[in-house]
Amino acid sequence: MAFQDFREFLDELRAQGELIDVDRPVALELDVAKAMRKSASVAGPAVVFTDNGTEFPLVGGVYNSRAKALIAYESDEAGVMQRILDGLSRRIAPVVITDAPVHENVVLGDDIDLTTLPVPRYSPDDGGPYITPGIVVSRDPLTGVPDLGHYRFEIIDAHTLSFMAQPFHRFGKNMAKAVARGDKTFRAALVIGVDPMLAYTGPIQVPDDTDDFEVAGGLRGSAVELVKCRTIDLEVPAHAEFVIEFEVDFGTTVMEGPLGEYTGYYTPASMKPIARPTALTHRNGAYFQALLTGVPPTENHTLKQLAFEASFLQMMRLQFPTIERVAIPQSGGVSFYVVIAMRPRYAGEARAAILAAMGTNVRPKTVIVVDPDIDVQDSEQVEWAVSFRSQPARDVILVDGLGAGPLDPSIDESIPLDRRTGSALGIDATYPYGTVIKVAGDACGPSVAEHGLEFVEVADVPGWRDYDFPELDDR
């Protein structure tokens, strides 16, 4: 049974030793970030900071390890990828209710004071305190299709937010459509503290006409309960801890940033749109949430990885059904570096898969295709394949003029976001099509004479995985 809300998830984390309380005073200015970074470095527990200078407890690190991700998905390592794929293959429509916990407290208009929220500053040179775990609920102004996505929001003052929305992400596209039809403002909602499947839905790669609440319902195995916002025409998760309803003013900008981003580098400050809160609603005893970002791996990367990999795998298999596994490592920001394991059906198919991956909204800078015997999650195995199964002159593809990946610090940052382009590298590290691979000592392998194909023998030790080694197992 899916977690019904954020609190049920926290209760399960606590029950499994993955959540602790810190009751001593902790400063929002960097100390919260230091504690979160230290716990994450050892795959440690999530932390509730009860004494943070505000009336709301602040919880951070709920997505900072693979173990917590498996708890969220209610799965184990062996089954989690299929669990996600099964969820993506079914869609369950949301239901709208009228009496919602998130409306237990409602603050409107000028009574809203954003400085009463426990919003940390994560990196020393950040431009201000940032809401990093928030999920924006927005709607396509032409089709009405809702979208969920993670976007950063800086607290400018008690009544003002600013944010960054990439032009190729759906929130950015929705605002661009509103501008194109002459709208002066755009309304959306920032949601904090949700059941984990809603959080894991945000990074999933799906077409723009997808209702993300239906995707979340499929992952949960039950419908998401929504409630109408108080000041805007939009539905939001009814069991969220906080919702900030806001209006974007297209005619006004403010300096936003810098922020230590998921790339591990600061994005410089620049002029961004203003978002003015129209309502702040929250549950009784609401938990606010912190999410650390910066040099990978951080909680931000762990949250994205499984969802990115599963949805990318599903999308790529539509064209290349012999793809068996994919990896989008945290070291590449869960975006810039992709490894694909596939069994090519014809000569050149691995190159075709590389080019198709470069054309996706993931926007990788490096795509490597390997044979299925390579563990795509093991960087040393991938490097072994690149070292001995590829020739640079034959197997490397370089494509220039592609849309640049999000916040790439190697791109000229003076160029507007929608005009940035970059290049991508592809490496076909599969054996040439038709090669017969045989593991040394395996008497069952086909011979060269039988097939008339190129023959390669892998010098591995047969049976080592099944060797009975109790002295090692008992360590």
| pTM higher than the cut 0.85 | no
- CA pair distance 40, 35, nearest whole angstrom: 9
Token pair listed for 281? 């609603």
- CB-based contact 339:376 (threshold 8 Å): yes
pLDDT of residue 263: 81
Among 312, 331, 65, CA closest to 205: 312
- CB-based contact 48:135 (threshold 8 Å): no
pLDDT along the chain (475 residues), means of 10: 89 95 91 90 90 96 91 91 90 95 96 96 91 95 93 95 88 92 94 94 86 94 96 97 96 90 84 95 97 83 86 92 92 87 92 93 91 92 93 94 79 78 92 71 45 60 74 67
Q: Which amino acid is at 127?
A: G
pLDDT of residue 296: 81
Among 125, 128, 126, 124, CA closest to 114: 128
**DSSP code of 29?**
B
pLDDT of residue 437: 66
pLDDT of residue 206: 84
Domains and CATH numbers, the chain: 6-290 (2.30.110.10), 319-429 (3.40.1670.10), 436-466 (no CATH)
pLDDT of residue 456: 67
Among 360, 276, 365, 283, CA closest to 323: 360
